[in-house]
Amino acid sequence: MKALHSLCIILGIFFCANSMKSQTIKNRDSIIESAVNDISVDNMKALIQDLVGFHNRNNLSSMTHPTQGIGATAEYLYQKVNTYIPSSNERLSVEKAFYTIGGPGTRLGREVTVCNVIATIQGSNPDDDRKIALLAHFDNRNGNGSDSIRYAPGANDDGSGVACLMEITRLLSRIDLPVTLKIMFLSGEEHGLYGAQYMANKAKQENWNLIAVLNNDMIGNGNASETNTHNNTMLRVFSENIPAIETDEMKRIRVYNSAENDSPSRQLARYIKETGERYVDNTTIKLIYRNDRFGRGGDHTPFSRKGYAAVRICEMHENYDRTHQYVREENGIRYGDEIEGIDFEYLRKNTGINLSSVANLALAPSVPENVRQEVSKLTNYSALRWDSPKQGKKPACYYVLIRETDQSQWQTKIRVEGTEARIPYSKDNYFYAVQSVDAEGHESLAVFATGGD
Ligand SMILES: [Zn+2]
């Protein structure tokens, strides 16, 4: 494995210097690969059919009706996670987290008590307190956000995200991962991201070491309205440019290092692109350099506003005939978020991207600490140093990631055994980051190297 890595590095440097069309070697972990192969389209289809069967999942719908409304949906998800507990070696658990929102004068118009359903896959290393969160919302709406009576299938928004998370719960609860996964089936999204806000507050209050938040909202539609563009080979990952929580001191460091394109959320987005494309064939991940779409929100945002690395994962093209519409036919156009609008092969691949990214990250060592670059000397070399992580398993090595300043993606990586590197490229012409790597090649998130004091 080490020899192979070294070869990759040599090839990487050679090709990076000579051509952008370099070959890449896909080193897949067999455990992750087989979990991706086990993703069941039948399971996801059945789950979305069941979700649609709850008729209307509006936050104002019934919490007590046995077969319809948001309460019955929450109970269904709770019970579904329960069915996976026996095969989890007692690592999987599930709870309902109730909270009260709304009131006169709010978008809800009255006060309601709803709940999130939170599945926890406990990490196997007691010395490692890292957590990774996956989000999807199970509330929905039709053409009127206050209508809790008429049919609102919500197959794609966000039945697709819920089905993705449930498959990941099933598959990753069977695998020994050192890091804890928090799989959050959220309510309250359509009226103001309330369920996510509740969980982000809880994470902050309880001081979670939450290293990544992946929000999946609408990942199953492959057809654009209006332009009729069909695409089931590309997936968007939105990430904030400058952290929402940036302080004056953070701003000073960012400006000094020209780190406008290197927020922690952006590193997470790049990580998902690299890992997802490694494990899922026939797919390209498109990084969108904005927090979310114009005028619209998502459940990752309450988390990024608390300072966590958080991204929104979303289909390449949206279908506005299907989203937030009453089910009907007009002038030959079918409106409404019905299950017929889901491309299940697309949903399968997008679930694989999530699963592989989360599993690879959960198997990786913690990030290197104090990643620093020497910038005070006049030299045509770049000198970097860092500290090994204080918790979790020790890295077998590190990757120094390199890209030219006008490039979007990390272009090459150098394998380093110790905690420093001296590289014959000018510090002025490149950006650098460092990842911790274990003996099997699982990489941590990248930490951008900064200089100055
Ligand atoms: Zn949504």
Q: What is the pLDDT of residue 346?
A: 98
Longest CA–CA span in the chain (Å) reads: 72
The owner of tokens 């997008």 is 350
Spacing, Cα 373 to ligand 1 middle (Å)? 41
**Residues 134, 437: Cα–Cα separation, whole Å:** 23
DSSP state at residue 291: S
Spacing, Cα 428 to ligand 1 middle (Å)? 42
Asked if residue 263 lies in contact with residue 240, where contact means CB atoms within 8 angstroms, the answer is: yes
3-state secondary structure of 412: strand
Please give the domain boundaries of the chain with CATH numbers for all domains.
Answer: 2-29+365-448 (2.60.40.10), 38-363 (3.40.630.10)
**Residues 4, 1: Cα–Cα separation, whole Å:** 5
Strands 111-121 and 130-137: unpaired
Take residue 157 and report the two structure tokens written for it.
């928004």
What is the tens place of the pLDDT at every residue in 58-110?
A: 999 999 999 999 999 999 999 999 999 999 999 999 999 999 999 999 999 99
Take residue 56 and report the two structure tokens written for it.
């209307």
Spacing, Cα 184 to ligand 1 middle (Å)? 14
Q: Which distant-in-sequence residues (6+ apart) come within 8 Å of 332 by Cβ?
A: none
- Global pTM value: 0.94
Spacing, Cα 401 to ligand 1 middle (Å)? 34
Which is nearest to 264 in space by CA: 280, 240, 228, 281?
240
**Residues 358, 352: Cα–Cα separation, whole Å:** 10
Spacing, Cα 217 to ligand 1 middle (Å)? 5
Which pairs count as long-range contacts for 68-76, CB under 8 Å and 24+ apart, including other chains? 69/148, 70/114, 70/138, 70/139, 70/187, 73/138, 74/114, 74/115, 74/117, 74/138, 74/185, 74/187, 76/50, 76/51
Spacing, Cα 299 to ligand 1 middle (Å)? 9
Spacing, Cα 323 to ligand 1 middle (Å)? 9
Q: What is the pLDDT of residue 23?
A: 76
Spacing, Cα 288 to ligand 1 middle (Å)? 18
Mark out the alpha helices in 53-180 (DSSP H runs). 70-82, 159-172
**Residues 313, 331: Cα–Cα separation, whole Å:** 32
Q: Which distant-in-sequence residues (6+ apart) come within 8 Å of 367 by Cβ?
A: 211, 389, 435, 436, 444, 445, 447
What is the tens place of the pLDDT at every residue in 44-72?
A: 999 999 999 999 999 999 999 999 999 99
Spacing, Cα 424 to ligand 1 middle (Å)? 47
Averaged pLDDT, 1-12? 41
What is the tens place of the pLDDT at every residue in 389-432?
A: 999 889 999 999 999 999 999 999 999 999 999 999 999 999 99
pLDDT band at 11 (very low <50, low <70, confident <90, very high): very low
**Residues 276, 41: Cα–Cα separation, whole Å:** 18
Q: What is the pLDDT of residue 453?
A: 65
Q: What is the pLDDT of residue 452?
A: 82
Which runs of E-coded beta strand occur in 240-298? 284-288
Asked if residue 115 lies in contact with residue 192, where contact means CB atoms within 8 angstroms, the answer is: no
**Residues 78, 82: Cα–Cα separation, whole Å:** 6
What is the tens place of the pLDDT at every residue in 19-47?
A: 455 677 789 999 999 999 999 999 999 99
Strands 180-186 and 234-239: unpaired
Spacing, Cα 114 to ligand 1 middle (Å)? 17
Q: What is the pLDDT of residue 63?
A: 97
Q: What is the pLDDT of residue 328?
A: 98
Spacing, Cα 136 to ligand 1 middle (Å)? 8
Question: Which residues keep their CB under 5 angstroms from ion ligand 1?
Answer: 157-158, 217
What is 169-207 written as a DSSP string? HHHHTTS--SSEEEEEEE--GGGTSHHHHHHHHHHHHTT
The owner of tokens 């941590």 is 444
108 alpha-carbon distance from chain centroid: 28
Spacing, Cα 348 to ligand 1 middle (Å)? 18
